[in-house]
Every structure is written in structure tokens, then in C-alpha cells.
């Protein structure tokens, strides 16, 4: 029996465990990346480990999230990251050089290598044939120190593409189609492997759009083969020597196969407030639009930008629409400028923003109150844009331009003939904004620059054998990390200051939560299905830890978040019978006993002291995870191992 592409890369990087779906495996990690919203904490954690130099083949620190410097906080964080990167052997991508996933694809991604990043959209690297995972900062810190990355061996889903995309139908529409098929929960526990004759017509940027959006499926990662299309992209980047042909065996076995005929797809749109709320664009024709945003790590490549410029050339955006365009990297922006496409964008009335995440992470360009915003981004969670009552829709760049020109949701096929855009055979190479670290012999001379906003890691809290505490918060299904720990321009500057950040925890759900949790001292949180979906931000675990959350009980958890909870020393438990969720009410007093024995057996009984009800809970912790919880999280566990 042959191997899938993902299984081949896993096999070549396997440190421990067996490639059996559902079993824990440990992988050797070749590369890591961080960004500035998560990076400061990740580097504080790495520093705590006491390892003098990173042990990966390549680690890169990107500045792309917190680029609005309305106070000293972001600037201080950037100086801290730059200094610590220089000292510990990490490459540093300066502000303005671009979005981490776009730049990494351009300059550092290598087929067949493993990559983890403290950003949930790190699977973008799968577009170039990498096995790339989003992870919490603690996992990235351990990998930088040479430690293995632990995951549950995923199931394998094959998406078989046939045909070719029609004019004005794009890779974004492929992403939305698979979300329509599988939902935001359908990829949990799986790797999505793309193949079939249809992939030959998809460029690396298009493939990267698809693997980027695989994160919204809850998938462990997504990956394309490395073929002649990959070789052409790497050659254009001056990195043909990094090319390695990679594909699945002809007799590889998959747990599920999904067939998609590219020629049958239509322009699609995800409606508020979930990426899987997908309908055809034509079904919403005529809906008033106030704002359009083009960019993000999903659709900011040179290919995307050239199409946008061609559609805008000689036209003016509608006076009722505000249009922003964020090129994904300095490389993209420079090439747009050199070929005249940037002039066409500016002449249309568009506002060209910095090469950064910007509006996607709520860092500026929020919609007007109750406004409708069409965005080429990957998430449209409620309030993420910075305007809670905005209606945010996810679309392709072509559909975005159609709305910008008409001030309505408009099928882009009505714009006339689609522009023909081809990528150049050679990209403009300029790595001057990527700073090399200090030589190892000079590292001791590098001073770590710390600002007053950088606070220490929260205290570890070893999991006890018994616990009695209040159920301080009960929430529903699909609670995202944006619900737990919001993003946005007002909050992101405090990502390295857990005490201050704690004021905003669960603010979208219940603004009184932080005060009530601190008053309780120790507490439970209860959630529904797919709890913790979305971003990899470990702050969604670290801040609840700081506030006293000891246990989270849910119907089911998202992959990265459940790992982050265990890393923080918070115990995630699931209902054996999901309907028992209804037996718990906010304010109830809950108790657990014989927790350690329950960890071993996989079954723990919860007592609702308020109602007298007994509720069966389950867990499936590995020996390593049990030890981490008993120690108080990954940092404490690592410290114990090194004693």
C-alpha cells in the first residue's frame, strides 16, 4: 500500500509514534515562523528555556500584524523581537517587508520541509509542497530549541480536481466550495491533500490561497504536490535549487475522496459571520456595499494584484465605496510599481495600504457602523473587523473589484472580458529588509531591548487531583479565538502584557467575565461544538489561565486551541453525551475528583453541586499531556525534564 504525499513527509520527519490515525506522533521541524502579535510571547518562552541558539534549519520573525504605531507598545515589541532574533539566530523581516505567509512562500518555503508557525494560516506553505502547521507560541519555542512538534496523526482527505476554472472563477472560489462541502468543522483531525489533473492549471499563488483557507476547515494542514508549476515559481524567485518533486504514490489510500470539477464552479461568497456560510455571488446580486478590502495572506500575491489592477484600469470606484488594497509583500508592491499597475490602482481611487495584515486582523480600516464590507480575507467572524455590527463577506479579488465599481454585490462575470494575466518568469529579488542574525560568536554582545509593556509569562498552575469551582461562563457552538481573546488595533498592542490583555477576555460574549473570573479565583468554562476555532493565538489560553480558568468543558475542540490549553496547563474535557451540555448553567458550582485516575482511564465524572446532577466527561490525553497538565503546562514540564 502506497503513501500519500503528507504521509511521505511525516515518515521522513518522524521522531516517535506510529503513523496510525488518532495516535500521537512527534515530528522534527525544519523551519519556524512567528509574527509580532504572537512572537513576543513565543520569544519570551524560548528565552525561558535557556537555549543559546535556535536549532532549526531556518527560523524567521516577521513584523506584519501590529504595524500601527499609535503608542510606544508596538514599537517596543518590534525592537524586542529584532534584538532577540539577532541574539538567538533568527532571521528578522522588518515592518513593511510583507505578510509572513506571502514572504515565506516567496523567499524561504522549500518543498518537502516541515514548518510550524505561531499563526494559524501557516499551512499557506502547503501551496509549495511544505508540510506546514499553525501552532501555539510555546510549540514554536520548543521547536526552535530543537524539540519535536507533537500532533495527533491525522486522517487523509484527497480533493481530486478536474477541469479548469472559467473566467472570473478563482482559487478563492475553490476554497469557498470546499468550505461549503465540509464546513468549518469538516477538516478537523485531517490533512487535506489536493491532486488530480486540475491542479496543473493552478499557479503556486493560487494553490497557496487554497491551502491558506484550509485552516478555516479546521484541518491539521493542507498540501499540494511539488511539480513543474512549483519549479517554475521557485525559478522565478531565484531558488530553483530548492525544488524537489513530490507526489503521492499511485496506490495511496485516503480516508475520503472529494471530487470537484473546476469548470462547474461559479463565483462564490461567504456571508456573515462564518467562512462556511457560502452561497453564489449571483444570489446576492444588488446587495448594497459600503467598503471593499483586497489583500491579506489569502489574496495579496502578485497574480491577485495584477488582476485587480487590470480590472480597475481606466475605471473609477463608486463614490459610495471605500476601497483598500494591501499588497502582500515588498516584492509584490515593487513589481506593481515598476510595471505601472500601481498607478492604475491609485487612479481608480483605491487607498493602497502597507504590505501588512492590516484590516484582516482588525488593524485599521474598520467598516462604517452597520456597513457591508466585502473582503478577500479568510475570516469574517463577528466583530473581527473592528465594527461589531458590520456585515463582512468573503470574496475573490475579482468579485471585490466588481463590488467596488458598482457599490453592490455583483457577479464579476458581468464586468465583460476577463483580463489575461501571466506571472513573469523572473521576480524582483531584494532581501534587504530581511536581517540576518548576529554571528554565534557575537551573540553574547547583543542586548535584548525590553519595553515597559512586556510582562512575564503567567504563573504555572499544576492541575490538582480534585477541584470545586464556579462555572463562570457558558458559551455556545463555534466559539472562536476572536471571541475568547479579541484582536484589533485597540487590543493587539498588549499581546505581550497578559495582565492588561485580560480585561478584554471573552469581551465579545460577556464583558463581565474578567471581573467575575478573578473574583472566583478558580473557575470552569463550558462551550459547545468546535470550541476555540480560528487563530492559533495562545493568548486565548494564556489569558484564561491568568484569570483562573482551570478546566474547559466542551462538546468538541479545535485542534490548535486544545493543544494551547494543555500547553498552558488548562484541562480540556469533552461531554460523553453532548446533550449533557444542557444540564449546566452559568453560576453553578461544579466539582471534579480523582482527576489523575480519570486522566488514565479517559473518563471523569463531573458533579454539579448546585443541581445534584452527575455528568460523564471524556478525555484522551497522552502520557506526555498528562505530565504537562500535572506540571502546570509545557514550560513547567520542560523545566522539570531539564532539571
pLDDT single digits (tens) 122-133: 999 999 999 999
What pLDDT, on a 0 to 100 scale, did the predictor assign at position 642? 62
Taking the alpha carbons at both ends of the chain, their separation in whole angstroms is 44
Is the confidence at residue 475, as pLDDT, over 90?
Answer: yes
What pLDDT, on a 0 to 100 scale, did the predictor assign at position 251? 96
The tens digit of pLDDT for each residue in 532-557 reads: 998 888 999 999 999 999 999 999 99
pTM, full prediction = 0.92
Gyration radius from the chain CA atoms: 24
| Helices (runs of H) and strands (runs of E) counted in the chain | 20, 27
- Contact (Cβ atoms closer than 8 angstroms) between residue 275 and residue 261: no
- DSSP class per residue in 333-393: HHHHHHHTHHHHHHHTTPEE--SS-GGGGTSS-PPPTT-EEEESSS---TTTTS-TT-EEE
Instruction: Determine the average pLDDT of the residues in 297-301.
Output: 97
CATH topology of domain 268-415: Aconitase; domain 3 (3.30.499)
The tens digit of pLDDT for each residue in 217-255 reads: 999 999 999 999 999 999 999 999 999 999 999 999 999
Sequence length of the chain is: 643
Q: Predicted confidence band at 643 (pLDDT cuts at 50, 70, 90)?
A: low
Q: Predicted confidence band at 414 (pLDDT cuts at 50, 70, 90)?
A: very high
Q: Give the start-to-end residue ranges of the domains of the chain.
A: 268-415, 467-642
> How high is the mean pLDDT of the chain?
95
What pLDDT, on a 0 to 100 scale, did the predictor assign at position 385? 86
What pLDDT, on a 0 to 100 scale, did the predictor assign at position 457? 80
The tens digit of pLDDT for each residue in 305-319 reads: 999 999 999 999 999
Question: Which of helix, strand or coil describes residue 184?
Answer: coil
Give the distance between the most distant pair of CA atoms in the chain: 72
The tens digit of pLDDT for each residue in 162-215 reads: 999 999 999 999 999 999 999 999 999 999 999 999 999 999 999 999 999 999
What is the spatial order of strands in the sheet that 434-435 belongs to?
131-134, 114-117, 31-35, 58-62, 91-93, 434-435
The tens digit of pLDDT for each residue in 103-151 reads: 999 999 999 999 999 999 999 999 999 999 999 999 999 999 999 999 9
Q: Are strands 24-27 and 351-352 parallel, antiparallel or unpaired?
A: unpaired
CB atoms within 10 A of CB 296: 27
What pLDDT, on a 0 to 100 scale, did the predictor assign at position 8? 98
What pLDDT, on a 0 to 100 scale, did the predictor assign at position 592? 97
Measured between alpha carbons, how far is 444 from 387 in angstroms, rounded to an integer? Answer: 46
Instruction: Determine the average pLDDT of the residues in 483-500.
Output: 87
Measured between alpha carbons, how far is 321 from 367 in angstroms, rounded to an integer? Answer: 11
How far is the CA of 363 from the CAs of 70, 359, 489, 505, 528, in angstroms? 11, 5, 5, 18, 29
CATH architecture of the domain covering 467-642: Alpha-Beta Barrel (3.20)
Q: Of the candidates 65, 170, 74, 184, which has an alpha carbon nearest to the alpha carbon of residue 559?
A: 184
Measured between alpha carbons, how far is 406 from 160 in angstroms, rounded to an integer? Answer: 36
More confident residue, 66 or 403: 403
Percent of the chain past pLDDT 90, that is, above it, reads 89
SS3 content of the chain, % helix, strand, coil (to 5): 35, 20, 40
What pLDDT, on a 0 to 100 scale, did the predictor assign at position 159? 98
Instruction: Determine the average pLDDT of the residues in 311-330.
Output: 97
- Contact (Cβ atoms closer than 8 angstroms) between residue 297 and residue 124: yes
Please calculate the CA angle 362-508-483 and round it to the nearest 5 degrees: 70
Q: Which long-range contacts (CB under 8 A, 24 or more apart) does 604-613 make?
A: 604/573, 606/553, 606/573, 608/583, 608/584, 609/468, 610/585, 611/583, 613/583
Amino acid at each position: 500500500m502506497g503513501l500519500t504525499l503528507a504521509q511521505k513527509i511525516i515518515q521522513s520527519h518522524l521522531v516517535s509514534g506510529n503513523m496510525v490515525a488518532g495516535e500521537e506522533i512527534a515530528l522534527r521541524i525544519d523551519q519556524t515562523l512567528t509574527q509580532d502579535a504572537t512572537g513576543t510571547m513565543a520569544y519570551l518562552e524560548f528565552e525561558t528555556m535557556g537555549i543559546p541558539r535556535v536549532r532549526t534549519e531556518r527560523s524567521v520573525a516577521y513584523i506584519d500584524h501590529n504595524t500601527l504605531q499609535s503608542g510606544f507598545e508596538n514599537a517596543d515589541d518590534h525592537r524586542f523581537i529584532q534584538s532577540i532574533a539577532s541574539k538567538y539566530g533568527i532571521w528578522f523581516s522588518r515592518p513593511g517587508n510583507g505578510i509572513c505567509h506571502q514572504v515565506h512562500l516567496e523567499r524561504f518555503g522549500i518543498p518537502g520541509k516541515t514548518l510550524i508557525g505561531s499563526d494559524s494560516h501557516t499551512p499557506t506553505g502547503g501551496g509549495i509542497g511544505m508540510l506546514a502547521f499553525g501552532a501555539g507560541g510555546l510549540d514554536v519555542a520548543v521547536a526552535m530549541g530543537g524539540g519535536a512538534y507533537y500532533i495527533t496523526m491525522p486522517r487523509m482527505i484527497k480533493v481530486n480536481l478536474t477541469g479548469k476554472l472559467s473566467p472570473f472563477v478563482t482559487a478563492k472560489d475553490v476554497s469557498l466550495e470546499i468550505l461549503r462541502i465540509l464546513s468549518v468543522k469538516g477538516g478537523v483531525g485531517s490533512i487535506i491533500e489536493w491532486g488530480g489533473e486540475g491542479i496543473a492549471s493552478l499557479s503556486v499563488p493560487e494553490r497557496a490561497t487554497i491551502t491558506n483557507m484550509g485552516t478555516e476547515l479546521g484541518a491539521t494542514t493542507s498540501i499540494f504536490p511539488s511539480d513543474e508549476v512549483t519549479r517554475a515559481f521557485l525559478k522565478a524567485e531565484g531558488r530553483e535549487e530548492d525544488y524537489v518533486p513530490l507526489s503521492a504514490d499511485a496506490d495511496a489510500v485516503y480516508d475520503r475522496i472529494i471530487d470537484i470539477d473546476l469548470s462547474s464552479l461559479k463565483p462564490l461568497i461567504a456571508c456573515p459571520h462564518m467562512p462556511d456560510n457560502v452561497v453564489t455571488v449571483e444570489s446576492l446580486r444588488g446587495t448594497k456595499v459600503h467598503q471593499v478590502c483586497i489583500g491579506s495572506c489569502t489574496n495579496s500575491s502578485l497574480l491577485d494584484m495584477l488582476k485587480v489592477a487590470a480590472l480597475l484600469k481606466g475605471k473609477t470606484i463608486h463614490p459610495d465605496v471605500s476601497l483598500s488594497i494591501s499588497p502582500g509583500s515588498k516584492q509584490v508592491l515593487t513589481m506593481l510599481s515598476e510595471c505601472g499597475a500601481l498607478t492604475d490602482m491609485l487612479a481608480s481611487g483605491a487607498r493602497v495600504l502597507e504590505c501588512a495584515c492590516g484590516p484582516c486582523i482588525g488593524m485599521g480600516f474598520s467598516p462604517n457602523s452597520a456597513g457591508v464590507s466585502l473582503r478577500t480575507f479568510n475570516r469574517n467572524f463577528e466583530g473581527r473587523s473592528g465594527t461589531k455590527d458590520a456585515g463582512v463577506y468573503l470574496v475573490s479579488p475579482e468579485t471585490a473589484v466588481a463590488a467596488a465599481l458598482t457599490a453592490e454585490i455583483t457577479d464579476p462575470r458581468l464586468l465583460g472580458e476577463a483580463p489575461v494575466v501571466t506571472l513573469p518568469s523572473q521576480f524582483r529579488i531584494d532581501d534587504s529588509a530581511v536581517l540576518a542574525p548576529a554571528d554565534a560568536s557575537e551573540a553574547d554582545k547583543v542586548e535584548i531591548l525590553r519595553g515597559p509593556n512586556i510582562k512575564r509569562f503567567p504563573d504555572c498552575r499544576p492541575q490538582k487531583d480534585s477541584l470545586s469551582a464556579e462555572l463562570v461562563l457558558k458559551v455556545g457552538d463555534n466559539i472562536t479565538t476572536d471571541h475568547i481573546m479579541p484582536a484589533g488595533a485597540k487590543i493587539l498592542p498588549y499581546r505581550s502584557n497578559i495582565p492588561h490583555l485580560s480585561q478584554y477576555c471573552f469581551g465579545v460574549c460577556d464583558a463581565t467575565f474578567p471581573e467575575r473570573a478573578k473574583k472566583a479565583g478558580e473557575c470552569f468554562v463550558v462551550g459547545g461544538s468546535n470550541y476555540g476555532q480560528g487563530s492559533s493565538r495562545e493568548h486565548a489560553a494564556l489569558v484564561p489561565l491568568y484569570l483562573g480558568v482551570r478546566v474547559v468543558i466542551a462538546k468538541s475542540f479545535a485542534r490548535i486551541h486544545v493543544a494551547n490549553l494543555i500547553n498552558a496547563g488548562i484541562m480540556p474535557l469533552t461531554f460523553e453525551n453532548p446533550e449533557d451540555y444542557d444540564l449546566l448553567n452559568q453560576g453553578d458550582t461544579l466539582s471534579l475528583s480523582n482527576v489523575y485516575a480519570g486522566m488514565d482511564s479517559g473518563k471523569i465524572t463531573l458533579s454539579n453541586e448546585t443541581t445534584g446532577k452527575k455528568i460523564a466527561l471524556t478525555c484522551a490525553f497522552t502520557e506526555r499531556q498528562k505530565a504537562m497538565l500535572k506540571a502546570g503546562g509545557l514550560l513547567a514540564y520542560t523545566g522539570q525534564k531539564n532539571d
